[in-house]
Amino acid sequence: MTSLPEGPNENKLEQISRILIDDSSRVPVSLWFASSVFWLLMGSVAAMISSVKLHHPDFLGNIEWLTFGRIRPVHLDIVFYGWSSMAAVGCLLWLQARLCHVKLPWPLLLSGLAMVWNVGVCVGVVAVLAGHGSSIEYLEFPAYCAPFFAIPALGVLAANVKMYVTKESQHTYVSQWYLLAATVWLPILYVTAMACTYFGLVQGVSQAITNWWFGHNALGLWVTPIAVATAYYLIPKVTGKPVHSYHLSLLGFWSLAIFYNWAGTHHLTGGPLPAWTITVGVVGSMMMFIPVITVAINHHMTMRGVFHMLKTSPTLRFTVFGSVMYTVASFQGSLEALRSHQEITHFTQYTIGHAHLGLYGFFSMIMFGAMYYIFPRITNNEWSSARLIKVHFWGSSIGVLAYGAGLCWAGWWQGMMMIDPGIPFLETVAYIRPYLIMRSVSGAGMTIAHIAFAISVWRILSRHHFVMSGPTLFTTARPAWREFVNEQEKREQAELEAQS
Amino acid sequence: MNRTPFIIFGVFLTIAFSLSGLVLIPNWQFQDHKPVINTRDGSQYPVPYFGMALQGRDVYVDQGCTYCHTQQVRAKGYGGDIRRNWGNRRTVARDYMYEFPVLLGTMRTGPDLANIGARQPSRDWHYLHLYNPQITSAGSIMPRFQYLFRTIKAGELAPSGAIPLPPAFQADGTHIVPTARGEQLVEYLRAQNRTFPLPEAKQ
């Protein structure tokens, strides 16, 4: 249970094995990551269309395929299945191989599974746009899409277990627990929820509970553990400091496993369900303070004394931002589950603001940080431009903070107005409209950030753009891209001349 | 010590518990729900959707209405639902015993629809509202569903089924008629009526 520091005094053998491990994961991890970045862009497009439609309903108004009720679930599904899940898989494969000190098994199979997953997202998106969606949040894709996700999920589970069982490292690091658990939970969650939803295994309002048992756990038991595991790995790795407390991380893991499971029914507060199901959800949500506080203490204490590194390291800055947002969004989420709070904010934009603080501010930011760390190692290349990374960081962070704060504020007052029957409903609509416009603006900032990120990823993956001169930090001044290419061409020209 | 089986079994248990607790037990609790008969006129509630309303549910699902409209009324004193006249009582599990899928919704960008059939029984109101929400609800941000309508070039006489557009919204010499899907959706909306008194929902 140490932090596996990557220092000058570690032995050569370990360095070589590390290079071999990174080599083995090059193709599959690059494929899962590159696909996720593609879906991130697609998800941003769908997000912008739905966001603009909400304040200008006549925008692309007469195209049935792009009506709000279709493009909005398409946004959610692209972001969840395409971006988040694919980024999470790439991250977990690489992390588990590194932590187990074994090569990634079956690279060809895992690459194939990435393509199967991509086909699943494509088919699902077209189906929802064509009107075959189910209108069940997070499970909109029709039943025939299920094998495209269930089979790769089982394959990833098998690879993960195989690595863990054959591990060469002597210790189990806390991240490995999270990674193992997440891959066990996902197939169970997904297959059970799809079966209940599409084959009528449960009746009446139990369908709604199944929906939120899946919807909430898909975030809490699939993407959250992977992001927490990643932060647990990256923060000590980049700072070179060990994790603060082993016992806390153990407590954090098992309390997440036990309590997050039960929290989903708070999405149905006030609904036509037995009161005890909601109470269980509220209790589960309140108990989430335990895992969240333990992770917060552990990460904060690890960072103590090295906060200055946030100035230089992109990986660390994204990851620590995400880690802080985990605490913020989780505290908010726990309080939001209370009945007195839900009376106001349920059914309003507040929920949307919270969802983005969680899935974007916390999860996506940590994934960005991880990709900034992992891509150079699996491609043997460096990031081409510190400026692009800066654009990415500031666009994403300011964007999501403005988005979350704006919508939570607007949602709160929207809810207060809805409680008061003296205020006509259309006045609540008029009240939130300026905030919906503000949401489009902050969304545009995030989209610009994603474009900058995608350019960076494209360059690091493309063989023409080798940058070999040390890691790219925020303070690294690289020549402007054109100049850089020119220089490189000149250098190659000179080499050619020297040879002839 | 190899702790792999221990971890995997442990995480499996956590999810098996929550699945049984949250999904299976409530499902078992509701399975003996039966419709209620009104002793005065012998009417039964709830009844499954049938005919055009049943087809209309598919239109409601494919248009994603649920992303802005709920179909649930919260209890008196909890939120403004009843005071806003969105229902005369809270909705309970029995209201949804025949629904597949259940479309409770989580968002009220637009108002609740659990009782829209009781609030707005008029077909014409629904047609006008779907064709252009500004006709009935100025300032609404609901999209227009004009692809659920056909435009007919006609003479002086309106064809049967033409919707009564106000002059300001009507192009000269044309009439607007709902398509089959438009008619189905409106029948589904008109079937949204959860006002029948149930013994377990006093308020």
What residues of chain B, 125 to 164, have a C-beta less than 8 Å from chain A? 133, 137-147
Answer whether A350's CB lies under 8 Å from A333's CB.
no
Question: Which chain B residue has the Cα nearest residue A259?
Answer: B14
pLDDT at position A43 over 90: yes
Comparing A123-127, A300-304, A316-320, A392-396, which segment has the lowest mean pLDDT? A300-304
Helix (H, G, I), strand (E, B) or coil at A347: strand
pLDDT at position A2 over 50: no
The alpha carbon torsion through B104, B109, B112, B116 (nearest 10 deg) reads: -120
A347 found inside a domain: yes
- Between the alpha carbon of residue A259 and those of residues A116, A208, A237, A413, B18, the distances in Å are 33, 20, 29, 30, 9
Task: Enumerate the residues of chain A whose CB falls inside 8 A of the CB of residue B33.
Answer: 204
> What are the boundaries of each domain within chain B?
50-190
Domain boundaries B50-190, corresponding CATH code? 1.10.760.10
Q: Look at residue A462 in the predicted model and tell me its pLDDT.
A: 87
- Quote the radius of gyration of chain B (alpha carbons, Å): 22
Q: Look at residue B171 in the predicted model and tell me its pLDDT.
A: 78
Band (pLDDT 50/70/90 cuts) for residue A467 is: low
The span from the CA of A25 to the CA of A426, in Å, is: 54
Q: What is the ipTM of this complex?
A: 0.93
Classify burial at B180, counting beta carbons within 10 Å of its beta carbon; exposed 0-12, middle 13-18, buried 19 or more: exposed
The span from the CA of B10 to the CA of B3, in Å, is: 11
Write the residue in A54, A73, A192 that is nearest to B141 by C-beta: A54
Which letter does DSSP use for residue A103 in this model? P
Q: Look at residue A168 in the predicted model and tell me its pLDDT.
A: 87
Phi, psi of A130 (to 5 degrees): -85, 0
Answer whether B2's CB lies under 8 Å from B8's CB.
no
CB contact under 8 A, A68 and B12: no
pLDDT at position A1 over 50: no
pLDDT tens per residue, range A256-277: 999 999 999 999 999 999 889 9
Phi, psi of A7 (to 5 degrees): -110, 180
**A184: Cβ contacts below 8 Å, ≥ 6 apart:** A157, B8, B11, B12, B15
pLDDT tens per residue, range B25-48: 988 988 888 899 888 888 899 999
Q: Look at residue A464 in the predicted model and tell me its pLDDT.
A: 63
Answer whether A285's CB lies under 8 Å from A219's CB.
no
Interface check for B30 against chain A (CB to CB < 8 A): the answer is yes
Interface check for B169 against chain A (CB to CB < 8 A): the answer is no
A1 found inside a domain: no
* Cis check: omega of the bond before B46, within 30 degrees of 0: yes
Q: Look at residue A478 in the predicted model and tell me its pLDDT.
A: 63
**Straight-line distance from the first to the last Cα atom of chain B, in angstroms, rounded to the nearest whole number:** 59
Write the residue in A135, A180, A209 that is nearest to B66 by C-beta: A135
Write the residue in B62, B141, B146 that is nearest to A133 by C-beta: B62
Q: How much is the average pLDDT of A215-231?
A: 95
CA distance A343 to chain B (A): 5
Mean confidence (pLDDT) of chain A: 91
| Domain of A52, in residue numbers | 15-499
A118 found inside a domain: yes
The span from the CA of A395 to the CA of A465, in Å, is: 25
pLDDT tens per residue, range B130-186: 999 999 999 999 999 999 999 888 776 777 888 999 988 887 778 899 999 999 999
CB contact under 8 A, B62 and A132: yes
**A96: Cβ contacts below 8 Å, ≥ 6 apart:** A160, A163, A164, A176, A179
Phi, psi of A304 (to 5 degrees): -60, 130
The span from the CA of A288 to the CA of A153, in Å, is: 26
pLDDT at position A363 over 90: yes
Which letter does DSSP use for residue B169 in this model? G
- Whichever domain contains A204, its CATH number is 1.20.210.10
Helix (H, G, I), strand (E, B) or coil at A348: coil
CB contact under 8 A, A58 and B74: no
The total of structural domains in chain A comes to 1
Q: How much is the average pLDDT of A237-245?
A: 90
The span from the CA of A446 to the CA of A442, in Å, is: 6
Chains A and B form CB pairs within 8 A to the count of: 209
**A462: Cβ contacts below 8 Å, ≥ 6 apart:** none
pLDDT at position A4 over 50: no
A256 found inside a domain: yes
If one compares A247 and B203, the residue with the highest pLDDT of the two is A247
Answer whether B194's CB lies under 8 Å from B91's CB.
yes
Angle at A137 between CA B119 and CA B123, to 5 degrees: 25
Task: Enumerate the residues of chain B whose CB falls inside 8 A of the CB of residue A261.
Answer: 14-15, 17-18
pLDDT at position A489 over 90: no
**Exposure pattern of A342-381 as b/e (b: 16+ CB <10 Å)?**
bbbbbbbbbbbbbbbbbbbbbbbbbbbbbbbbbbbbbbeb
